[in-house]
Structure 1
């Protein structure tokens, strides 16, 4: 997928859900994975011509795994004049060694978001961009349905009252396969997650299940996504309600 096509999808999502306003200072949380790097590059390009002027910074929360090398991401940001902050933490030690959590993902996510939000507020940002794409939206709804017994997924825009930050998700119109295609086309330096729990989660199970359903019923994931947009879920009605 070309950068131009990525920009088209991102701008459509930004416009449909009013994600960016004049003067926004937006932080992109960089895990090192394909999704967050795609989002960073797309928003950086968008900032060059979008009618509402905004600025970007990139932030990585280093969980404390010893084998995480961020040199290529430093270079990528430096080449594009994107300010890049790395927040050092001991989250990995706390979760895996001190607490020995049976469900490490929950505590890790909570601590990581806390460290990320603190860094973003210190940098003077009012918004944070998360790199959730269409597949994430659908998987989250299925996880909620299967394990919580309710129809729910995250919103395109979410205001966090405790921190007074607004979360935006500009990749919601992109499929994961398109993100992968973009990363391969432009040889973007993806950093593999060093987490021992990576790929062994309920989300991974649901991802595989949806993949099987989509192969047997082509387009089913897109139809679920459309149902979410039209289903009066919190935060998803702005676009369809205004058209």
Structure 2
């Protein structure tokens, strides 16, 4: 592992794994692949985790085709270069969301359907865990969405067991910034595919990301401090209503 940036980003993933015991020996881990930089960098880093730690686990990348007939040849080749075989699951999720349901705010429905398809496919492949490529910026964005639009403090966990499915969802990149992922992707020539969505640029998540960019420009390091605050919650600072 010669590249300094690779070492830095790998250390962040390894620390997340150590802090939250995300990956254990004999795990069969489905890796959600979107074709974007986040999921492919995650697969790359998880292969490094296999190589440079004593952990013994297997990786099974899954790409959901939402019905847009994407050219997945670059993804197939990249997964092969990482010693894995890409499983492509064909779905009609895009048609359901944008043509049949015609949702004004399609992200929630699309996310729900994609999660279901990923969970089912992971189980069919005999996996006990599903790795998703959420990074540190996603953590902060999700937190702000819950506070600004829903009026409560909520953010996804590094590891969540889905008892209905019998599957554990893990997020190994929660300590890694989107900027570091972008730079690592470029330095290692990791390919990406065009996965443009009709809703791109018009979602609550896009609005909140723009707001957080402004905060980051004014207060450099703000996103990282917000991530740190999630791990350093003072329970006594929360308001608790007295029960009647």
2:203 is matched with 201
Moved more, 217-226 or 31-40: 217-226
Report if aligned partners of 1:32, 1:73 keep a CA contact under 8 Å in 2: yes
Q: Which deviations, in whole Å up to 9, do the C-alpha atoms of 1:91-125 show, x marking residues without a partner? A: 11111112211121111111111111111001110
> Does the residue aligned with 1:198 lie in a helix, a strand or coil?
coil
Moved more, 45-54 or 79-88: 45-54
2:133 is matched with 131
Within the alignment, does 1:22 sit opposite 2:25 as a pair?
Answer: yes
Report if aligned partners of 2:136, 2:178 keep a CA contact under 8 Å in 1: yes
1:104 is matched with 106
In 1: Cα distance, 2:58 partner to 2:234 partner: 32
Closer/same/farther in 2, CA of residues 232 and 84 from structure 1, 3 Å limit: farther
1:12 is matched with 15
Of 154, 157, 161, which residue of structure 2 is paired with 1:159? 161
Report if aligned partners of 1:159, 1:165 keep a CA contact under 8 Å in 2: yes
Report if aligned partners of 1:31, 1:60 keep a CA contact under 8 Å in 2: yes
Report if aligned partners of 1:65, 1:194 keep a CA contact under 8 Å in 2: no
Report if aligned partners of 2:26, 2:58 keep a CA contact under 8 Å in 1: yes
> Does the residue aligned with 2:51 lie in a helix, a strand or coil?
coil
Task: Please report the TM-score for the alignment, with normalisation by the length of structure 1.
Answer: 0.92
Closer/same/farther in 2, CA of residues 193 and 232 from structure 1, 3 Å limit: farther
Within the alignment, does 1:224 sit opposite 2:226 as a pair?
Answer: yes
Within the alignment, does 1:3 sit opposite 2:6 as a pair?
Answer: yes
> Does the residue aligned with 1:170 lie in a helix, a strand or coil?
coil
4+ long deviations beyond 6 Å: none
Q: How many corresponding residue pairs?
A: 232
1:64 is matched with 67
**Structure 2 unmatched ranges of 5 or more:** 236-244
1:79 is matched with 81
Within the alignment, does 1:180 sit opposite 2:200 as a pair?
Answer: no
CA apart distance, 1:232: 6.0
In 1: Cα distance, 2:59 partner to 2:49 partner: 11
